[in-house]
């Protein structure tokens, strides 16, 4: 396992380097800048701002200063407004620098404030997805060929076909206007996360239902399941103790990209329900050409996706001892 983790760490470093490099230069290749707006700035003020954040440097120099604590300014201060005593440390030091739009905050401050909100929304969405998806998938497999199976498969297909913002619109009409039970927007209490959490998790619940149904159907025909039944175990014990562990393996494999999809899918949902999460800041950073904030959220998502996929591989070995990590084979 140690060799496996070391190899993953090496590939993580390579992946992160590629993502940071490509994102850095692609954002600066787009027309416009962080100080462009509907009201044009005085040319002298704009020059001062460019110099303040060292955007007048060559891009290669900006890039080197962004990734590491390099003192590239001959006059003393570091990149992005350091004062020599407390310079911007760069990505390698875990410092994403100040935001160009929210000038009283650093990117680390913004992520620190918004990430718990997005994490709470994502946790509720994932809980909805697992609860509904696993229940529907297992029930559909156990009652294969019945009207219940057909109805659950139809619901899963509908959930896959509808994007989350369409589901969000239906939920708002139903539970806000027709039956006013829940708040429509904002953040402040758990009730504010019920509708967006369900809208975000519903499409993933549909995928989980299809995967768990397929996995359960395959496992229920295995020899060890027939042996368990032949020993006289109740059907409940056979399903919960033996079949379910193998039947959810496809779901476990899907959870890594699904969690990443929930995080990136929250970009739209947070905008619809006016939730001040990381997704909302990511959208605003793209619209405002806030380079440092966009880079910080991109790096955060990259780290989460890679870490979650690694955890999925490790979970596989716990659920099925027959599966070995690639470096242990």
154 with 249, same domain: the answer is yes
What does the buried/exposed string (b/e) look like for 40-66 if buried means 16 or more CB atoms within 10 Å of the residue's CB? eeeeeeeeebeeebbbebeeeebbebb
How many domains would you assign to the chain? 2
Cβ of 298: how many Cβ atoms within 10 Å? 18
What's the chain's average pLDDT? 81
* Residues of the chain falling short of pLDDT 50: 74-87, 328-329
For residue 324, the model assigns a pLDDT of 65
Single out the residue in 95, 127, 155 at which a domain terminates.
Answer: 95
User: Is residue 140 in a domain?
Assistant: yes
Residue 289 neighbours by CB under 8 Å, 6+ apart: 27, 30, 32, 33, 34, 36, 100
User: From CA 180, how far away is CA 176, in angstroms rounded?
Assistant: 4
Question: 217 is in which domain, residue-wise?
Answer: 116-328
58 with 176, same domain: the answer is no
pTM of the model: 0.75
Share of the chain above pLDDT 90, in %: 16
67 with 124, same domain: the answer is no
For residue 85, the model assigns a pLDDT of 36
User: Is residue 103 in a domain?
Assistant: no
For residue 136, the model assigns a pLDDT of 92
For residue 321, the model assigns a pLDDT of 63
82 with 192, same domain: the answer is no
User: From CA 275, how far away is CA 61, in angstroms rounded?
Assistant: 37
CB 212 within 8 A of CB 248: yes
Strand partners, 63: none
296 with 195, same domain: the answer is yes
Give per-residue pLDDT as tens, 172-189. Answer: 899 888 888 888 888 888
The phi, psi pair for 106, rounded to 5°, reads -90, 165
82 with 203, same domain: the answer is no
CB 129 within 8 A of CB 258: yes
Question: To the nearest 10°, the Cα dihedral for 252, 257, 258, 261?
Answer: 170
For residue 71, the model assigns a pLDDT of 57
User: From CA 258, how far away is CA 301, in angstroms rounded?
Assistant: 13
84 with 120, same domain: the answer is no
Q: Which of 169, 315, 329, 177 is nearest to 251 (CA)?
A: 315
Query: Which two structure tokens, joined as six digits, stand for 169?
Result: 């619109």
For residue 287, the model assigns a pLDDT of 81
CB 99 within 8 A of CB 169: no
Strand partners, 113: none
For residue 72, the model assigns a pLDDT of 58
User: From CA 55, how far away is CA 51, in angstroms rounded?
Assistant: 6
User: Is residue 7 in a domain?
Assistant: no
Give per-residue pLDDT as tens, 32-81. Answer: 777 766 566 667 766 777 777 777 778 888 888 788 765 555 444 444 44
User: Is residue 126 in a domain?
Assistant: yes
For residue 30, the model assigns a pLDDT of 79
User: Is residue 43 in a domain?
Assistant: yes
For residue 77, the model assigns a pLDDT of 40
């Amino acid at each position: 396992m140690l060799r496996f983790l070391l190899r993953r760490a090496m590939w993580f470093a390579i992946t992160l380097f590629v993502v940071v490099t490509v994102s850095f230069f692609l954002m600066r290749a787009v027309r416009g800048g962080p100080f462009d707006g509907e009201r044009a700035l005085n040319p002298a003020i704009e020059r001062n701002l460019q110099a303040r954040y060292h955007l007048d440097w060559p891009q290669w120099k900006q890039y080197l200063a962004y990734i590491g604590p390099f003192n590239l300014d001959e006059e003393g201060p570091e990149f992005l407004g350091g004062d020599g005593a407390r310079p911007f440390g760069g990505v390698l030091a875990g410092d994403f620098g100040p935001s160009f739009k929210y000038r009283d905050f650093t990117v680390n401050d913004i992520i620190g404030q918004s990430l718990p909100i997005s994490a709470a929304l994502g946790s509720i969405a994932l809980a909805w997805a697992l609860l509904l998806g696993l229940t529907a998938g297992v029930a559909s497999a156990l009652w294969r060929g019945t009207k219940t199976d057909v109805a659950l498969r139809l619901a899963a297909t509908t959930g896959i076909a509808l994007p989350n913002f369409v589901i969000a619109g239906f939920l708002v009409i139903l539970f806000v206007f027709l039956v006013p039970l829940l708040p429509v927007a904002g953040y402040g209490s758990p009730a504010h996360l019920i509708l967006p959490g369900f809208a975000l998790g519903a499409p993933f619940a549909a995928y989980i239902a299809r995967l768990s149904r397929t996995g359960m159907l395959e496992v229920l025909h295995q020899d060890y399941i027939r042996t368990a039944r032949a020993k006289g175990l109740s059907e409940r014990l056979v399903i919960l103790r033996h079949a379910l562990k193998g039947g959810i393996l496809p779901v476990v494999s899907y959870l890594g990209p699904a969690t990443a999809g929930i995080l990136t899918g929250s970009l739209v949902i947070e905008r619809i329900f006016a939730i001040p999460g990381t997704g909302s800041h990511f959208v605003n950073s793209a619209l405002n050409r806030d380079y440092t904030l966009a880079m910080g959220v991109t790096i955060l998502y990259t780290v989460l996706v890679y870490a979650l996929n690694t955890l999925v591989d490790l979970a596989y070995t716990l659920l099925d001892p027959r599966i070995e990590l690639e470096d242990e084979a």
